[in-house]
Amino acid sequence: MRYSTVYERLFSQESKPGILVLIDPDKVDRDSVEEIVQKINEHDGVKAILVGTSVLLSDDFDEFVSRVRKVSKFPVIIFPGNSLQVSKNADAFLLPSLISGRNPDFLIGEHVKIAVFLKNSGIEVIPTGYMLVESGNYTSVEYISFTRPIPREKIDIAIAHAVAGELLGLKLLYLEAGSGAKYPVPPEMIKSVVDSVSIPVIVGGGLRTRKDVENAINSGASHVVIGTAFEEDPEILQEVL
């Protein structure tokens, strides 16, 4: 690999915007894991595979991550919804702090439970400011995290949270409308946040069409996250980028 870290590979200046495909371990038939990853491998617009979910009902997370990584030609990054979703078998770990909320469990609590494990594992950790944005429906992340999303039109509030995250030393911002969101994060909010910070911003939640993806990328998103639309139709990757 040309880059020494996944972070560099994804966010170096010459890295073009692309897709981070989110695989929810609770939604994948265990007989089709390799086949699904092979499908992802076919698309050069993909930059990485994220693995994670809001709750986690399955009991084979570690093995699941290994299977994905074994076949993937892209880096595999854990994007955990809680402290059960850890494994040494990934290329990197997004450590999200839900900075748009005021629930201490998701700001620091879950992190304390896995911090020493992560450090000892040697896995690359990417400290991420996770910002939930109102999306027109009640999403799993809102329910599970007991946090309220930032109102869609409150761009000033989004900027203030993003800048606070940057000043706290976070290396990445994730603007999230929530899985299956009715409306993605508004382009104006993406643009304002991107213009306010010098760390990369990724965007996800409710992105289903080429237009959705273009809106996010043209607004300055470093990459976009696609989960539900890929689950519903793996060919979507071809269409959106």
Q: How much of the chain is helix, strand and coil, in % rounded to 5?
A: 40, 20, 40
| Residue of 6, 10, 22, 126 that binds ligand 1GP (CB under 6 A) | 22
Tell me the site size for ligand 1GP, rule CB under 6 A: 14
29, with CB counted inside 10 A (0-12, 13-18, 19+), is exposed
Report the sign of the C-alpha dihedral through residues 101, 131, 74, 34, in that order.
positive
The residue among 37 and 131 lying less far from ligand 1GP, judged by its C-beta, is 131
Helix (H) / strand (E) containing 202: strand 201-204
Which parts of 61-123 are beta strand (E)?
Answer: 76-78, 92-98
The residue among 101 and 120 lying less far from ligand 1GP, judged by its C-beta, is 101
3-state secondary structure of 223: strand
Q: How far is the CB of 165 from ligand 1GP (least distance, A)?
A: 17
Residues between 167 and 226 that touch ligand 1GP (CB under 6 A): 176, 179-181, 204-207, 225-226
The residue among 22 and 36 lying less far from ligand 1GP, judged by its C-beta, is 22
Query: Which residue's beta carbon is nearest to the bound ligand 1GP?
Result: 204
The residue among 72 and 145 lying less far from ligand 1GP, judged by its C-beta, is 145
- Regarding 142 and contact with ligand 1GP (CB under 6 A), the answer is no
Cα separation, 40 vs 28, whole angstroms: 14
The residue among 86 and 229 lying less far from ligand 1GP, judged by its C-beta, is 229
Which residues are near ligand 1GP by CB under 6 A?
Answer: 22, 176, 179-181, 204-207, 225-229
